[in-house]
Amino acid sequence: MGKRSRQRKKEHQKNSKPAGYADIVKENKLFETYYKELGLVPDGEFDQFMESMREPLPATIRITGYKSHAKEILHCLKNKYFKEIQEVEIDGQKIEAPQPLSWYPDELAWHTNMSRKILRKSPLLEKFHQFLVSETESGNISRQEAVSMIPPLLMKIEPHHKILDMCAAPGSKTAQLIEMLHADMDIPFPEGFVIANDVDNKRCYLLVHQAKRLNSPCIMVVNHDASCIPRLQIDSPDGGKDTLFYDRILCDVPCSGDGTMRKNIDVWKKWTTSNSLHLHGLQIRIAVRGVEQLAVGGRMVYSTCSLNPIEDEAVIATLLEKSEGALELADTSAELPGLKWLPGVSKWKLMTKEGQWYNDWSEVPANRHTQIRPTMFPPTDAEKLAGMKLERCMRILPHHQNTGGFFVAVLVKKAPMPWNRRHPKVCVCTRTHTHLLHKYSMCMVNGGQRSPVVCQPPPNKKMKLHGFKEDPFVFLTADDPVFPPIESFYDLCPDFPKINVLTRTHEGKKRHLYIVSKELRNVMLNNSERMKVINTGVKVLSRNSDGEEFGCAFRLAQEGIYTLFPYIRSRIISISVEDIKVLLTQENPYLSKLEDAAHQQAKQIGMGSIVLRYQPDNSSSDGPQCPIELCGWRGKTSIRAFVPRNERFHYLRMLGVEVFRDKQGQGPGTRDGEEKVDGEEKVEVKVDGEEKVEVKVEVKMEVEEVVNDGEEGVETENGIKDGSIKDELKEVKIEATST
């Protein structure tokens, strides 16, 4: 190709580049016509409803309620960050002071008129944004839409409940369920558990990321189609097998999402009435599968982010009609005081995308019967319709409390489902006639007296798994040789549940040890061929190759310290607030830098993994009023805290230390808010408003890697070779210097 041809090609490519995406116009005439005709919005409020739908959704945050230091985070928010942004103006818009959601308990959920875009891009809000990002990664705060918080609250969860989340990804509601399960932090293993399911294999890993932030041994993530999620078995107390029925089920089904227009702008141009018609059948199938697996006396919460009755009341009415009295709608009117909602409707009609209306099934022409089904209309029997009490459903409109649109209904199961009563599972005999005759002849006893032939059902077929193949989940036995050194080194209590410990490999050295509750262990051992488990358990111990020199090959993992700590009786150092500041702002401080009490304890403990425990002084208001446990390492002359970076910042904030990261050398190639990999990050730390400490965080990706037993390891300053430290700390080196 000649020079001129190449030049013309370059000019053509330059001129053919698109000018960019046009802004989406927030108009949809079909949407307005449909909802205006349905009359779901009260008289005189429709214009306000539409105006609210066009406004961006406010930022909403929720403080993780089960952790004992939730009050400390709330105190930090109210007395520092919220005060700093009260008088801020951005693009002519005054930022309102954040307000607690009136209906959420204990002021643990807040909202402000800041949109996510403003929050991310404004330099004036950078400190607040960094705080949110850091605390979110640590699992202490969740950025979650307000209406999304409603379904878990209506489930009335108690620590002994067995819970199924049928369509769980991305996991914000699942996180709430886990929090409620751990309402009592003094109980490391609640009797209940959460099984979180999603049909999308990739979204399951997003769900895992959300759930793992909470470090619970009572959560299992599985990957199934919710409409045919397998029925599970568990060991019964009498030694037999029982079917697992759930005490609580969250059925947040896929929907058209027209209640999310404020944040999902694409819905404006994509919305048609056909969306609801296509999803209605799937929603019913998922809900039916849910009530089948619900225990008698249990609650199932059905929810959508759609305002359309075809996805809402029509599904509930179908369930109630099919149940023949086995289900009823619970009256939840007094359960969330302060929440504004409208009662469900008992009359609605259907419109096609061409604008054709149908009031009931009898009006639908035959050529439409494949798209429009009888269950999409309200029941024609007035008495039956009144008995359903559809007004107990809750519909949240955006303009009432500046939220998204939402629908939720609470179903209580009073009896087994009628189709289960009428058609119990029967044993299907697939054996040959010859085999049956042989079986019959073998059953003749006592002089020709016949004993009944027991015909067993065929064995269950092994489930076909699709998507990424997970490593196995292998439970250890109580006499596994890995336990004696661990029990001796940490002086574990005799009641430590060793049989609940699992690893992810059948062969070779065990790199990490995880633990689950005994109830989840029961589920996993009885259903290994029925379900596809993506993730479960919390990591409590990680292999440290040089640890054997000190008596134990495993060090403690920060993720599982709150689960494991109640069983640890040695290698615990009590520390003060000042000790925590030293440990979290210096990489390898000398033992002498600890206060005298901690220094004396450290000198009496040999090298190896340790627990650094802070216990609040009830007689003093100084320092955090909640216990803190940190994993660490006692070296020859120094000590180190094994705490991930965001958790370090979290604990420093709890101690009254102001943390602000200022990235240096950020070139134009780095996006706003994105970390540089090989660079230097400066963290300004201000203690009690007086001493200012500049912490330089040097992120090095070129680390010395050593091969040890087939695993990667990192040479640390304490002389430890630990493959997992690189994963947890990302080789972040912190040096504190006074300025």
Question: Considering 305, 393, 552, 631, which one is annotated as catalytic?
Answer: 305
* Helices vs strands, H then E, count in the chain: 24, 37
Domain termination residue (choose one: 125, 143, 161): 143
Flag whether 171 is marked binding. Answer: yes
- pLDDT computed for residue 377 by the predictor: 97
Mean pLDDT of the chain: 83
Distance CA 512, CA 557 (A): 9
| 506 in any annotated domain | no
**Domain for residue 727, yes or no?**
yes
pLDDT digits (tens, 9 = 90+) for 684-698: 555 444 444 444 443
In this prediction, residue 72 has a pLDDT band, given cuts at 50, 70 and 90, of: confident
d(Cα 260, Cα 266) in Å, to the nearest integer? 10
pLDDT band at 471 (very low <50, low <70, confident <90, very high): confident
Q: Report if residue 80 sits inside a domain.
A: yes
Is 216:181 a contact under the CB 8 Å cutoff? Answer: yes
Q: How far apart are the first and last CA of the chain?
A: 62
Classify strands 193-197 and 162-165 as parallel, antiparallel or unpaired.
parallel
Helix (H) or strand (E) holding 419: helix 418-422
Domain boundary among 110, 143, 176: 143
> What burial class does residue 480 get, using C-beta atoms within 10 Å of its C-beta: 0-12 exposed, 13-18 middle, 19+ buried?
middle
Which contiguous run of DSSP H or E holds residue 679?
Answer: strand 679-687
The Cα–Cα gap between 324 and 530 comes to 30
Where is average pLDDT lowest: 57-71, 356-370, 559-573? 57-71
Q: Range with the lowest mean pLDDT among 3-12, 146-155, 230-239, 485-494?
A: 3-12
pLDDT at 118: 79
Contacts of 360 (CB under 8 A, 6+ apart): 349, 377, 378, 380
List, in sequence order, the alpha helices (H) in 561-644: 561-564, 577-585, 596-603
pLDDT at 667: 35
pLDDT above 70 covers a percentage of the chain that reads 79
Tokens of 26: 């927030």
Q: Do residues 230 and 289 lie in contact, with contact meaning Cβ atoms separated by under 8 Å?
A: no
Q: What is the pLDDT of residue 683?
A: 55
Where is the domain boundary, 143, 168, 191? 143
Confirm whether 305 is a catalytic residue. yes
Is residue 173 marked as binding? Answer: yes
Q: Which domain holds residue 590?
A: 572-664+676-739
More confident site: 390 or 121: 390
Within 69-108, strands assigned E span 89-90, 93-94, 99-100
pLDDT confidence tier of residue 188, bands split at 50, 70 and 90: confident
Q: Is residue 716 part of a domain?
A: yes
**Per the domain annotation, does 424 fall within a domain?**
no
Quick check: 425 pLDDT over 60?
no
Q: Tell me: the pLDDT tens digits for 308-326?
A: 999 999 999 999 999 999 9
Whether 512 is covered by a domain: the verdict is: no
User: Which residue has better confidence, 112 or 711?
Assistant: 112
* 168 annotated to a ligand binding site: yes
> Residue 462: pLDDT band by 50, 70, 90 thresholds?
low
In the predicted structure, residue 700 carries a pLDDT above the cut 70 = no
The average pLDDT across 47-73 equals 87
pLDDT tier for residue 463 given thresholds of 50, 70 and 90: low
pTM score, whole prediction? 0.83
Residue 2 is assigned to a structural domain of this protein: no
**Domains identified in the chain, total number:** 2
User: For residue 126, what is the enclosing H or E element?
Assistant: helix 126-137
170 carries a ligand binding annotation: yes
| Distances from the Cα of 218 to the Cα of 99, 414, 512, 555, 559, angstroms | 33, 27, 18, 22, 14
pLDDT score of 711 more than 60: no
pLDDT bin (cut points 50, 70, 90) of residue 11 is low
**Average pLDDT of 138-167?**
95
- pLDDT value for 85: 81
The count of other CB atoms within 10 Å of the CB of residue 410 is 22
Residue 198 assigned as binding residue:
yes
Q: Evaluate whether residue 109 is within a structural domain.
A: yes
